[in-house]
Amino acid sequence: MKQGDVLLDMALLYVTLSFLCIGGTIPLVPDMHRFFVDSRGLMTTSEFAGYIALAQAAPGPNILYVALFGYHVAGVTGALTTLGAISLGPFVLIVITTKFFTRLQTNPWREIVLRGLAPTTVGLMLAGCAMLTKGFVDARAWVLAAVALAAFVALPKLHPLWLIAAGGLVGIAAAM
Break the chain into its structural domains and give their ranges. 3-135, 136-176
Bigger pLDDT: 138 or 119?
Answer: 119
152-161, pLDDT tens digit by residue?
788 878 787 7
pLDDT for residue 88 is more than 90:
no
Under the banding of pLDDT at 50, 70 and 90, the label for residue 80 is very high
Q: How far is CA 118 from CA 51, 104, 124, 131, in A?
A: 26, 19, 10, 20
pLDDT of the residue at 23: 67
Q: Which one, of 75, 73, 80, 69, lies nearest residue 25 by Cα? A: 69
In the chain, % of residues over pLDDT 90: 25
Q: How far apart are CA 80 and CA 70, in angstroms?
A: 8
- What integer is the mean pLDDT of 28-41? 91
Cβ neighbors of 104 (< 8 A, separation 6 or more) are 110
- What integer is the mean pLDDT of 11-25? 83
pLDDT of the residue at 68: 92
**DSSP tag of 27:** G
Under the banding of pLDDT at 50, 70 and 90, the label for residue 26 is confident
Q: What is the pTM of this model?
A: 0.62
Q: How many helices (H) and strands (E) does the chain have?
A: 7, 0
